[in-house]
A and B are shown apart, each in its own frame.
Chain A
Amino acid sequence: NAGVTQTPKFQVLKTGQSMTLQCAQDMNHEYMSWYRQDPGMGLRLIHYSVGAGITDQGEVPNGYNVSRSTTEDFPLRLLSAAPSQTSVYFCASRSGTVNTGELFFGEGSRLTVL
């Protein structure tokens, strides 16, 4: 029972480089989301999706792109990395048919931008 799987777990980038953080879930969840976690700031929502082909912005979307071509996958793209994007990134999903449901989180991806 894999749940939510994130890759890579660790990544170091140079300023201006691009990369994609992968997220996959095997629970057939309609809702998927990306958060970033920074010390003293809790978790902040970057982007979310309520189903394949549908995405929307969270509270800190600038510098990040997402797409949702399948129910299972929700990749997060950094087109031109900046030091301010150094953070721990979490993907989370829940059943979209149950609005009261809790989120299931991946183990996180730690990104450092030099």
Chain B
Amino acid sequence: AQSVAQPEDQVNVAEGNPLTVKCTYSVSGNPYLFWYVQYPNRGLQFLLKYITGDNLVKGSYGFEAEFNKSQTSFHLKKPSALVSDSALYFCAVRVYGNNRLAFGKGNQVVVIP
């Protein structure tokens, strides 16, 4: 079975400060990892993914994430948070050949002006 853990319910950060949203995963096999963002009353939007290769992946809106195989983690980061980054963030995992994408429970990010 594949699963994702997002340990924090809410992340509060001051505008301009670094933002980190944590994600750990559990799979049998090599993972495909994804981050999505959801704004209020909207569908999920894709931010970035790790498939293979460089452990540091860059995505939309200045976000990046680092794949750490030994710690089974895929934390989302942004060097300088904006108020407009306030949203719900989901980590998700899948393995090759498995059509099911498993999501974490989500992290609410609040960026304080």
Contacts and interface: CB of A to CB of B under 8 A. Distances in A.
A58 interface: yes
B103 A106 contact: no
A106 B44 CA distance: 8
A48 B99 contact: yes
A35 B11 CA distance: 25
Contacts of B104: 42
Given A90-B43, A108-B42, A108-B43, A103 B106 contact: no
B10 to A, nearest CB: 12
Number of chain A interface residues as a range: 20 to 34
A41 B3 CA distance: 12
Interface string A24-42: 0000000101010000111
Contacts, number: 54
A41 B46 contact: no
B43 A102 contact: no
A50 B100 CA distance: 11
A99 B100 CA distance: 11
A79 interface: no
B34 interface: yes
Summarize B's interface: helix, strand, loop or mixed.
Answer: loop
Contacts of A40: 9, 105
Nearest to A90: B43
Most buried by A among B6, B34, B45, B103: B103
B14 interface: no
A31 B46 contact: no
Interface string B38-66: 00011111100101000000000000000
Interface of B: 6, 9, 32, 34, 36, 41-46, 49, 51, 90, 96-97, 99-106
Interface of A: 4, 31, 33, 35, 40-45, 48, 50, 56, 58-59, 90, 92, 99-100, 102-108
